[in-house]
Amino acid sequence: MILYHLMALTFAVIIDRLIGDPKWLPHPVVGMGKIISFFEKKLNNGSHRRVKGFMMMLILLSISGGVLFIIVYTAYSIHTMLGIMVEAWFISTTIAAKGLKQAALDVWQPLVNKDLNEARKYLSYIVGRDTTNLKEEEITRATIETVSENTSDGITAPLFYALLGGAPLAMIYRAVNTGDSMVGYKNERYSEFGYAAAKLDDLFNLIPSRLTGLIMIMFNRPALKRSRTECLNVLLRDAKKHPSPNSGWGEAAAATLMGIQLGGRNVYGGHVSERARMGDSLIKLLPEHILAANRLMIRTVFGFTILLWMIGGMWYVLT
């Protein structure tokens, strides 16, 4: 079965690269969002909110994984190739390389045209921080941080779980990540109800995020004639500085490879947050680094897919 998963996830990467997420097709994440919104309105009140949040996630994961398991099992029962292609399609809905690249370009294009208002508008679609008063360098930094962080969350992590458990486990990962993105906030409304979603997301991303940071260093050429060993040292030095236990791995890797510094002052809902600096500011941060971040992401996905084939191949031989 592991070889089927490998073929399916590889086809999924190709599908995403070619067509991404067509707007005319229903998307599983939209359904997940509706489930989360329904239970959030019904359960996020009164006492025992943490328990209620756990119940919501249990229901969400059961539906996401259970329904897809039935679909995939049925497809394989009919024909192996049908099963692989059905898995490939559903796995492709859990990754977003094409969409992430385009979202970054949507910010980059007005930025190079010196239309900061338009750049801020498109940036606001992909980040949680306030974008109203951001300057060019801050817009650039926010875009690169989003691309580098979501290289793991949005692409390599679901591929990792697709190797372990096919499309159903990849979809369970996407459900966890969606839950965290909707209710996993440390504020008055969600700190208790979103606790389970946030902790599950931390757990699910623990291994993929670190593998992604290492693969990013291995499969990309460092700028400014730095060695990969130097970049690896910076990665290990800075990744743990991020307030998230996992998000720093992609950001620190991207920063050191490009010779720039990420992190700093962000504003969320009017509240200032000082994020730790990652990487060394060897060169000035410019809009062109957004394109560089996209290239890092693409090569990392390629390298991560190779890694999964190596892991899957050894697994197949040993079992």
Helix (H, G, I), strand (E, B) or coil at 200: helix
Reported as a single tens digit per residue, the pLDDT across 144-177 is: 999 999 999 999 999 999 999 999 999 999 999 9
How much is the pLDDT for 252? 97
Q: How far is CA 61 from the centre of its chain?
A: 18
- For residue 214, give the amino acid letter: L
Residues with Cβ < 8 Å from 148, sequence gap 6 or more? 216, 250, 251, 253, 254, 255, 262, 293, 296, 297
Range of the domain at 9: 2-318
Q: How far is CA 169 from the centre of its chain?
A: 16
How much is the pLDDT for 118? 97
Helical ranges in the chain per DSSP H: 2-19, 28-43, 49-78, 80-92, 97-112, 116-124, 136-151, 157-183, 195-218, 228-238, 248-258, 288-318
Reported as a single tens digit per residue, the pLDDT across 119-129 is: 999 999 999 89
How much is the pLDDT for 198? 96
How much is the pLDDT for 152? 97
How much is the pLDDT for 272? 83
CA neighbours within 13 Å on the CB side: how many for 8? 36
How much is the pLDDT for 283? 94
Residues of the chain with pLDDT under 70: none
Rounded distance, CA 39 to CA 148, Å?
31
* Number of domains, the chain: 1
Rounded distance, CA 145 to CA 290, Å?
9
How much is the pLDDT for 25? 82
Q: How many residues does the chain have?
A: 319
Q: Are 166 and 73 within 8 A, CB to CB?
A: no
Place of tokens 């991020």: 242
Rounded distance, CA 168 to CA 288, Å?
38
